[in-house]
Structure 1
Amino acid sequence: MQYRQWGQTQQTLSVFSLGTMRYLADQAAALAVIKTALDFGANHIETAQAYGDSELILAQTLQTTINRQDIYITTKLLPVPNAQEFAARLDRSLQRLGVDYIDNVAIHGINTPEHLAWALEFCLPVLETAQAVGKIGAIGFSTHGSLALICQAIESRKFAFVNLHYNYFFQRHAPAIQLAQAFNMGVFIISPADKGGLLYQPSPQLRELCHPIHPLHLTYRFLLSQPGITTLSFGPAGPDEVPFPLEVADQTHPLTDAEKAAFWRIEDHLQATLGLERCHQCQACLPCPEEIAIPEILRLRNLTVGLGMEEYGTYRYQMLEKAGHWFPGRQGARCTDCGDCLPRCPSQLNIPALLRETHSQLRGPGRRRLWEGN
């Protein structure tokens, strides 16, 4: 396991951080996962008040299995427009974790301009007060928001770290990572295996193009080779899932020739398969009068048609119109053929036709998400 400085803090984090969202219900498995991850050298655990009983499970582990001084803990609190309520939420996390100090606290989900306004006016003063009296360490934010919003939050210079989505198949937030690095902020990459392409169960096409490197390891190496990224989230559901991702935990060097060649094969195959129908993710088609998530839908089409990643495409497409501000935008069937996007597309794509095609292919039944209940 390699370790990197967490931005301007005094913390040195393992380049893989244990995420706790996947073990909401199985306490025994959770305890085994935590112990195994720590045995492999992970020293950072990320939880959240919104992750069911994960804070309570982590508290039990601290009491029975591991030394508090051996790990850094990050928890996340949803933003609210009420300082008193936010302070109560912070106290609740301290109580649930059974600690008197939390190393890092992130405002969880600055996804809209309203959330950022709440964070700056109501939530940050609470966290700064807690920091001053020694209850918490670094203050940061997590986000599923737009690039512009992420950069605005970073430019406020109020945060020591940012948790965001970025991976080989979703590079839209690269400028935010560069900005965070310029401000000496810690950068935590959210779910590069799952949200990055279901890479623990890659499509046969993707596996063949990446051979002899596993697609999961390849995307991890893409991220680990970038010094501006501090740590990657990995979320095993059981202890048997811990070792495989961490096979590259000691590999933070620049990409090798073999790894570069695998990425070239992916790009060549995408271009050969998609041809003039490839969306290059320039975002010029936005805004859409119907609020359709055009670039994201066409990104999923690129991966489905070009790399056989239909399972991933269906999984992500089905989240549209179900996840609110966590995954904004409407599905392709909402297109009214207004033509507003067409003259703005530099690739001259027939966007309405591609939206309908993608909707037809990816609208199948999706899996239940955390927010959908039982």
Structure 2
Amino acid sequence: MQYNLLDRSNEENIAYAKSKGLGVVIMGPVGGGRLGAPSEKIQGLLKNKPASTAEMALRFVLANENVDIALSGMGDLKMLDENFEVASRTGHLTEEELAHIKKMMEENKKHAQLYCTGCNYCKPCPQGIDIPYLFEIMNRHRVYELTEHAKSAYKEVINGWSWIKSADASKCVECGACEEKCPQKLPIIQQLKDTHATLKPQS
């Protein structure tokens, strides 16, 4: 199952599977690479700050007593060494540390929803902009301080990579159709401008 600091939606399912005697294998413990990028905010969730955001992410997943295996992708020997070191430890997090992390991540999630809940009512955009997706990328920077990853993800949008189904935020013509449909009455046009200005590659 998918499970990581940014996506805890399967937590109850994991516990249920374990209660039925099943082994639990976690995919995406580092959030598909998102948590591989540096973030002082996420590393700062522990008093004894971990060496990297990836370490924080892996320790969080392995601290769940219902998890048997975490499948963490690695691209070089340094990542292998780091994952081996983290996975070899006993007592990844105390109950107090785990509770604190979950509380802070819930607060961050609520903060992110102030910018966009991902309800998709704003879609489709006449210009082909996937507004919730771009705002999710922006929140990786704005809420979780995963700025390096956010900029990399937005660059993929600008470059029009085949698996990205969105135009970049600069393609907005300010027609206002999205704002009329938004139940939160968000200033979507301005937020799209902010997203592009903040995440676009610097010339």
- When normalised by structure 1's length, the TM-score is 0.42
Change (3 A) 1:303 1:229: farther
Whole-angstrom CA distance in 2 between matches of 1:241 and 1:234: 9
Match for residue 48 of structure 2 among 207, 212, 235: 212
Identity %: 21
Whole-angstrom CA distance in 2 between matches of 1:242 and 1:187: 18
- The higher relative CO (CA closer than 8 Å, separation ≥ 6) is in 2
Distance apart, 1:337 and its partner CA:
2.2
Q: 3-state DSSP class of the match of 1:197? A: helix
Whole-angstrom CA distance in 2 between matches of 1:231 and 1:190: 8
Q: 3-state DSSP class of the match of 1:231? A: strand
| Higher share in helix | 2
Change (3 A) 1:233 1:278: same
Match for residue 143 of structure 2 among 278, 283, 306: 306
Of structures 1 and 2, the larger Rg is shown by 1
AA in 2 matched with 1:208: G
Distance apart, 1:317 and its partner CA:
0.8
Match for residue 233 of structure 1 among 31, 50, 72: 72
AA in 2 matched with 1:283: N
Distance apart, 1:237 and its partner CA:
1.0
Change (3 A) 1:322 1:167: farther
Match for residue 35 of structure 2 among 192, 197, 210: 197
Match for residue 128 of structure 2 among 267, 270, 291: 291
Change (3 A) 1:186 1:277: closer
Distance apart, 1:261 and its partner CA:
0.6
Taking only aligned residues, the RMSD between alpha carbons, in angstroms, comes to 3.9
- Whether 2:99 is the aligned partner of 1:257: answer no
2:23–2:68: 8 Å Cα contact kept in structure 1? no
Whole-angstrom CA distance in 1 between matches of 2:127 and 2:29: 29
Change (3 A) 1:211 1:338: farther
- Whether 2:152 is the aligned partner of 1:342: answer no
Distance apart, 1:190 and its partner CA:
4.2
Whole-angstrom CA distance in 2 between matches of 1:363 and 1:223: 32
Distance apart, 1:188 and its partner CA:
5.6
Structure 2 match to 1:155: none
Change (3 A) 1:227 1:205: closer
Whole-angstrom CA distance in 1 between matches of 2:121 and 2:23: 29
Whole-angstrom CA distance in 2 between matches of 1:285 and 1:229: 40
2:46–2:97: 8 Å Cα contact kept in structure 1? no
Q: How many residue pairs get matched?
A: 191
Whole-angstrom CA distance in 2 between matches of 1:349 and 1:226: 40
Aligned pairs (5 A) from 1:92-171: 167-169=4-6, 171=7
Change (3 A) 1:231 1:191: closer
1:190–1:233: 8 Å Cα contact kept in structure 2? yes
AA in 2 matched with 1:243: D
Q: 3-state DSSP class of the match of 1:244? A: helix
Q: 3-state DSSP class of the match of 2:103? A: helix
Whole-angstrom CA distance in 2 between matches of 1:328 and 1:187: 30
Whole-angstrom CA distance in 2 between matches of 1:227 and 1:282: 31
| Higher share in strand | 1
Distance apart, 1:356 and its partner CA:
1.2
Whole-angstrom CA distance in 2 between matches of 1:223 and 1:244: 15
2:41–2:144: 8 Å Cα contact kept in structure 1? yes
- When normalised by structure 2's length, the TM-score is 0.70
Match for residue 319 of structure 1 among 122, 140, 156: 156
Q: Runs of 5+ in structure 1 lacking a partner?
A: 1-161, 367-374
Distance apart, 1:296 and its partner CA:
2.2
Match for residue 245 of structure 1 among 76, 80, 83: 83
Distance apart, 1:223 and its partner CA:
3.5
1:342–1:351: 8 Å Cα contact kept in structure 2? yes
Q: 3-state DSSP class of the match of 1:307? A: coil
